[in-house]
Amino acid sequence: MDNDEIDVPEYFICPISLQIMKDPVTAITGITYDRESIEQWLLKNKNTTCPVTKMPLPSDSDLTPNHTLRRLIQAWCTQNSSLGIDRIPTPKLPLNKVQVLKLLKDLKDPILKIKSLRQLEILAAENERNKKCLIDSGVPKAVIMFLLDCYYKKGVEEGVEEALSLLQFVKVSSEEVKVLMSENSFDSVLDSLTWLLGCDFSGNSTMVKSHAVLVIKNLIQRGDSSVIQRLKFEFFEKIVTVLRNRVVTQRGISGALKVLLFACSYGRNRIMMVECGAVFELIEIEMGTPEKIINELTMSILFHLCSCASGRAQLLCHKGSMAVLTERMLKVSAAVDDRVIIILSLISKFSATNSVLQEMLKVGTVAKLCLVLQSDHAKYIKEKAMEIIKNHSEVWRNSPCFPERSSFYGKFV
């Protein structure tokens, strides 16, 4: 029989999920919810009010188990089992700090460490409540210290894969990053993760390195500007190598690109990236016709790297660069158009040799710039496109794709 046809007591129903509650808990506002639904409301969705009363309900407020209501629901389910109602099992006791600290103690035991890491990962994957308990109990920092110990020993120990995977569930917080920085261990942590990118992992190397890149991204995001200013050549070398060898997942590539984009804010970093061959590899990624988010990230990084002469030179050394830039125009997004046209503007101003200008004509760059002028793009983008065309009109004027000067300039100037 369809459960929708059964008359379920109203107070058995969770106000959020509208399903029979399996683990009813009462919030400080007096409203009872199913634990999973209210924890997702508070912890995962970052809401701060009671869904029913709209009163303040902080994420760390107590949720009191409603044992009486749970027993009533269980008894009702048993009585109606012949109608297709499944019995609701008694929920497990919530994870507590004592249990977590026991697992962290086991992490230091060579025999128990793998079992401990796997158990922590299982707990983290179960629900948001467990994640919060693990974070509050210091799991992220303990796992980071485990990886750091591997680095100091210069040996990839068993458990590295599990440790990096666990850090995808319980990310290192901004507060913990500040602690690492105050203890002067942040740079060593980055060094350890960078070192892992160059290690040889048997079997699941792609996933392990992807996780390492994502942990690096999380740490860089949460660090202050001094972190980005201190990045080393070896750091960029390993990140670019990861992109070159495609030894990470699509999510890992996105994470690596975000790391480079964060670092682009400082000139010294841009120079090191170029020296590592980042421009060339970004064009190679683009030639693989990646998804929109990758397009936007690569073009944003290229925009920064082409602000220096060496970056522009490396871009123009790649035989497919101009074709890729041209192909992306008016095809992906306004953000990509913005970056591409500014890159072309930089090339037009500082690197426009005759061969470059002929290449722009050959691959259709000039024709695309003319189309930009007729689009609904922002005024400054159209002005940039017009500036490129004006600066080199004498070279391009005899091209079939180049419009008559009188009508063309009269319309857009």
Pairing of strands 64-65, 24-26: antiparallel
In this prediction the pTM is 0.81
Mean pLDDT of 216-227: 90
For residue 350, list its beta bridge partners.
Answer: none
Which CB contacts under 8 angstroms, 24+ apart, belong to 359-365?
Answer: 359/322, 360/322, 360/326, 361/395, 361/396, 361/399, 361/401, 363/322, 363/323, 363/326, 364/326, 364/401, 365/322, 365/325, 365/326
Angle, vertex CA 144, rays to CA 276 and CA 204, nearest 5: 65
What is the CATH number assigned to the segment(s) 3-83? Answer: 3.30.40.10
Q: DSSP string covering 193-210, please?
A: HHHHHTS--SS-HHHHHH
Reference 294, options 259, 324, 250; nearest CA is 250
DSSP letter at 319? T
| pLDDT at residue number 5 | 67
- The 10s digit of each residue's pLDDT in 14-54 is 999 999 999 999 999 999 999 989 988 988 778 889 999 99
Is residue 2 exposed (0-12), middle (13-18) or buried (19+ Cβ within 10 Å)? exposed
- The 10s digit of each residue's pLDDT in 128-171 is 889 989 999 999 999 999 999 888 887 766 889 899 999 999 99
By the 8 A CB rule, do 174 and 222 touch?
yes
> Please, which pLDDT band fits residue 348 given cuts at 50, 70 and 90?
very high
> Please, which pLDDT band fits residue 412 given cuts at 50, 70 and 90?
very low
